[in-house]
Structure 1
């Protein structure tokens, strides 16, 4: 089951939406804690939902349950925390929230997890994909756009 991930910083709107279209994404699942970011105007929640539908016929849903809590996010991003500590804390939070039982794999088919980070290697969207895949027996075929 294909699942993509994407970040919107350090890219243009043309490149961002083009990558989504080329990957065959049908729905974007926004995993940001705050989906009204000013980092890129096209990525604010209402604008993003409009552009996704208008440009590619894609759906949009915000899932803050798949985001770190505010204190965890602040410690890592704003206070330049350690990735390993953040990763362990966030994986624990997803387990505590039991996100694998609140969603099913079908909801992620042809979807794309969205957050702000340009690259996936130190981004919580990758952790969400890894966590769910580990709980669902590896059914998600994850591709980072």
Structure 2
């Protein structure tokens, strides 16, 4: 029996840069997998794409990759955020989207090992990174998911 792979998730809001980077280092994260649709906004602070890539490498030799196939569409995101949609609808639409995209065929289990799915939400409960992690766990098996 093969051992399970470790997959982490983290949101950067409501964390200082110090808390964010120390959490990743303490967990032993090897790569951050950015699942955000929009990752260049000034609102992202230290987590803007190019800054984050630089900081991760400098602080912990942590790889950074952005995988748009793991992000919701603008339409799904807007319906939930801007039009104050309900979580159940968002979850249903997002899960259908990642099923349609067949994300499990586009990402190798090796890439997930020691990886950390990143988005902005502070907690995983109402966040697409949790849905992605659970989907991978269901499809690939042998995946230990930890929300940081």
- Under TM normalisation by the shorter chain, which class is it? over 0.9
Q: Is the 8 A contact 1:25 1:110 kept in 2?
A: yes
5+ residue gaps, structure 2, are: none
1:63 to 32, 48, 67: 67
Alignment TM-score, normalising by the size of structure 1: 0.97
* Alignment TM-score, normalising by the size of structure 2: 0.95
Hey, what's the Cα distance between the residues in 1 that align with 2:102 and 2:44? 31
* Structure 1: 5+ residue stretches without partners: none
Q: Secondary structure at the match of 2:39?
A: coil
For residue 23 of structure 2, the aligned residue among 19, 22, 26 is 19
Report the count of equivalent residues: 144
* Superposition deviation, residue 37 in structure 1: 2.6
Are 1:143 and 2:143 matched, yes or no? no
Separation in structure 1 between the aligned mates of residue 146 and residue 31 of structure 2, nearest angstrom: 15
CA shift for structure 1 position 73: 0.5
What is the RMSD of the two structures over their aligned residues, measured on CA atoms? 0.8
More deviation, 103-112/15-24:
103-112
Which stretches of structure 1, 4 residues or longer, exceed 4 Å deviation after superposition? none
1:31 aligns with 2:35: yes
